[in-house]
Structure 1
Amino acid sequence: MNQKILVNQIIPFSNVDGEGNRCSIFVQGCQLNCLYCHNSETIQTCRNCGICIEHCPSHALSFQSNLVIYEESQCSHCDTCIMVCPYQSTPKAKAYTQDDLMARIEIYRPYIRGVTLSGGEPTLYADFLTGLAQKIKKLGLTVYIDSNGFFDFEATSPLINIVDGFLLDIKAVDNIEHLCGIKSQLHLKNLEKLLGINKVIEVRTVLLNKHMDQMNTLNQVVDRLEGYPQVPYRLIRAHVTGLKKVQEAYIGEAIMTEEEFVAYGDYLNQKGFHNFKLQR
């Protein structure tokens, strides 16, 4: 297949993107715009405006045929290009075919248990990733999807059927439009459907003050996880490390104290739900 998708980065070995040592592939593009996103440069695609070129200290960027061209061998990975981009994007995303990605995965194959397709939002490229997942599975590797849950279940069903499971981010229940720029409860409906076919590896929620109703979100998720004791719920304390300055200024005062964060774990224990993890 000659079809290509934009990939922000490939992490050869990760132990935080699912079970075991995994290769994580981060696609470019997401339909959300979460206030606390630590991969905000994966949301938009490069507009080829060229503003980043003059700011690149290592001269790794240039204009060719009205396109911003990135030369990785010259890059110092200072991320100045991302910091000055008015669209908070990156010129460093690369176009890959399925065969290109498989060539990379083959290199890491002896050292990994599987591949996690992340982003960005991988379900935006469901057709492409369905074919890729089929090829990965033939290597004896597992395939996970790290998703925000906002996808058309029926249209995505070929991908859902071939992968081993989803790492599902439930951002919030109330005020989701303010927090992530989308007005929908589709993520909760898809959580229910994925649970029903045993395709949920883990559910996760980032907790912060002011911008969400934490208690209602926890209750809605835990109520849906009842009857699925094998599925853990990971609570993540939002932090400002790695955020863009504009994000830090907006949510800095909403970061929880350690005591506030731990209290939500205590609440789940009191509720009788014990299969959760607290991530600082």
Structure 2
Amino acid sequence: MTLGPDDTGPIRIGETAEWTATVVGAHRLREDLAVVRLIGEFVPFAPGQSVEVRTPQHPNMVRRLYPALPPSLDGKLEFHIRTVPGGWCSGSLVSDTRTGDEWRISAPAGWLAVDEAATEVVMLADSVGLAPMRALLLDLSRRETPPRTHLFVGGRYPRDLYADDMLHLMANELPWLTVLPVVLDEDNPDWTDHWYEACRVDIGFEPEELLPGTLAEIVTRFAPLDHQHIVVCGNAAAVHSAVERLVATGTAPEAIRYEGF
């Protein structure tokens, strides 16, 4: 591993550039979810791409995460991290990340993007698949004429919609954006999530706004989506189900960009 001549350039491991960023906030929103914000070197990724991350808790383990902000010249980064059942690395990132931790970022990759020519966009975000969608939405807001965009955001329970306050504010500020919350169960489970209770706010989705069902079921109510540009991200099973249903109801496969994790 070598540094640039002034010890400020990107670290390189072989031919792979690696950038450093420092955690400035680790906000636990749910028992199984945290939002981590960092500031560091500029990372040249495209909105919607994922990056590889190394953390001090697991320096020899690489985790691929989606930035929730577009590339920032002042080095701001944000990641939404959810515990994977049985995944001790993701669980540690959610529970053990601390302010001052130094992360190493590398290998931007992925093809989630919105075509420049798109005039209408449909986004499907399952769980923390919302992160790249937020980066794409913020990037779209910079366009002179952003495309009309419908964002379907899904979770099992209402409290799984962890960013409902942020989405509520974005929809109010961006006249071209419509957010549709989708839940499999309309009532939260009877066990208490103390993190959810601690960060509850007064703005967000009202119960009557929630659409019951899966993302695949709900989005195909609007079929055929035969002229929209489609972007899908989230749990692999949910993503594949949605893509299969979209294609089966008339969406051209080449109009869909999707990634599952």
The question of a shared fold, defined as TM-score above 0.5 by the shorter chain, is answered with: no
Greater strand content:
2
If the length of structure 2 is used for normalisation, what is the TM-score?
Answer: 0.32
If the length of structure 1 is used for normalisation, what is the TM-score?
Answer: 0.30
Greater helix content:
1
